Amino acid sequence: MKVKTQSKKVNKAWLNDHVNDTYVKLAQKEGYRARAAYKLKEIDETLGLVRPGHLVVDLGSAPGAWSQYLRRRLSPGGAAAGTLNGTIIALDILPMDPVEGVLFLQGDFREPEVLERVEAVLAGRQADAVVSDMAPNLSGIEAADSARISHLVELAVEFALAHLKPGGALVVKVFHGGGYSQLVKLFKESFNVVKPLKPKASRDKSSETFLIGVGLKAPPIRK
């Protein structure tokens, strides 16, 4: 019974924090599906990664907040609908409600047939940016969770090396802890410029941060 009481207290505290969160309120006001939109917004505004005319791939896109931000960023007037100056391709294993102007592909990009669909849409074009808010379901077992997180980041880097323009950028979510230094090393081996950034919208209690790599050190891998 004690465990249940503690669990209820934790859930109630989280819910209270969530409801009163500045970015949750802002997301509701501005029509974003999740507060995560402001993480990518700050990263982009700090580093200038996405510009009108760009082709951007959003990995792990559901529920669609990052795609919503990208859609507005590539709109001449910053609008959520209407003219779009650029291309956004979103992928996720989970379903995602449509975002106007965003091409969504449901499936696991590790599977050959899904990757073929992505490459068919790209039609030989290379991305200006690849963004990934992918995160595994965490078990609470540090070693296992670290391995799962690292694997997703490695997959995003592999995808970027194959599909980014030489001067393109990759943004991935990572967590401080076991495996973090190895992921930084992987980024430094793959990109000319590497920056870690923890946006203000990322909760203080969270070990989450983001790694940004700009400019490939080697030519894109071609199959």
Annotated active-site positions, please?
Answer: 173
CB 60 within 8 A of CB 133: yes
- Cα 199 to Cα 208: distance, rounded to the nearest angstrom: 10
Amino acid present at 145? D
In eight-state DSSP terms, residue 132 is: E
Q: Which of 103, 96, 94, 106 is nearest to 74 (CA)?
A: 103
CB 91 within 8 A of CB 118: yes
* Strand, helix or coil for residue 91: strand
- Cα 179 to Cα 68: distance, rounded to the nearest angstrom: 31
Residue 130 class from Cβ within 10 Å (0-12 exposed, 13-18 middle, 19+ buried)? buried
What is the end-to-end Cα distance of the chain in Å, rounded? 57
Max CA distance (Å), the chain:
59
